[in-house]
Structures are given as structure tokens and as C-alpha cells.
């Protein structure tokens, strides 16, 4: 499973953020990683230097073998919460999608 983290130019501490994102993705999606070929994470700060509610956005896109990519998004007050929320949503999507695939067999 290849993990790629993309940030806009307003996200500070990119190396620390990338490490955190990789850790969260591996811990929460590792159990279902068999059919996953690539995970792309997109982080952006809606208001740049201003603080505001839910201004940090995270979009997780997972590419599965032989299937269309699936995505999940989450907005929060900070990057860590946005990443964790989007990854939790993605795990639910993958459980549902991969469960359907198992039922067909």
C-alpha cells in the first residue's frame, strides 16, 4: 500500500504532518490493505492564516485493485482531527465495499 500525502501551501510542518498521516492510515486501514494499491491524502486549510471552525479539510482517496477509487472527507478545527475523521469514514466505506465484494463470491 503506497501512501501519498498532498498539502496546500498553508499547511505548516509538512514532514510532521506526513508522518502523522502515514501512521493513522497504516493503523486504521492496515487490516483491510490487501486490495488497496494506493492511498492519496489531500490536506488543505480553508482560511489559511485565520482560525475558524472546521477550516481544516482532509480528503482520503483509496485506489482498489480492479475498481474505481473511493473517497471520504472530513473537516475539523485541526489537521489531526480532520485526518482521523476522514480515515475513520474511509474505513467504514471500505468495510462496506469489501463486504459487498465478499458477499458476491
Neighbours of 38 (CB within 10 A): 13
In tens, the pLDDT along 34-92 reads 889 999 999 998 876 666 677 899 999 999 988 889 999 999 999 999 999 999 999 99
pLDDT of residue 23: 96
Query: How far, in Å, CA of 46 to CA of 93, rounded?
Result: 25
Residue 70: strand pairing partners? 62
pLDDT higher than 60, residue 97: yes
pLDDT of residue 101: 59
pLDDT of residue 49: 67
User: Which residue ranges form the domains of the chain, and what is each CATH number?
Assistant: 2-104 (3.30.160.100)
pLDDT higher than 90, residue 3: yes
- 93, 61 Cβ separation under 8 angstroms: no
Amino acid at each position: 500500500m503506497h501512501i501519498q500525502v498532498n498539502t496546500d501551501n498553508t499547511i505548516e510542518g509538512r514532514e510532521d504532518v506526513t508522518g502523522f498521516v502515514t501512521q493513522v492510515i497504516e493503523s486504521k486501514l492496515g487490516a483491510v490493505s490487501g486490495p488497496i494499491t494506493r492511498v492519496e491524502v489531500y490536506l488543505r486549510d480553508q482560511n489559511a492564516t485565520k482560525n475558524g471552525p472546521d477550516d481544516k479539510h482532509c480528503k482520503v482517496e483509496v485506489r482498489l485493485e480492479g475498481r474505481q477509487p473511493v473517497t471520504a472527507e472530513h473537516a475539523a478545527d485541526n489537521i489531526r482531527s480532520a485526518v482521523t475523521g476522514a480515515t475513520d469514514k474511509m474505513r467504514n466505506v471500505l468495510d462496506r465495499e469489501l463486504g459487498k465484494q465478499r458477499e458476491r463470491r
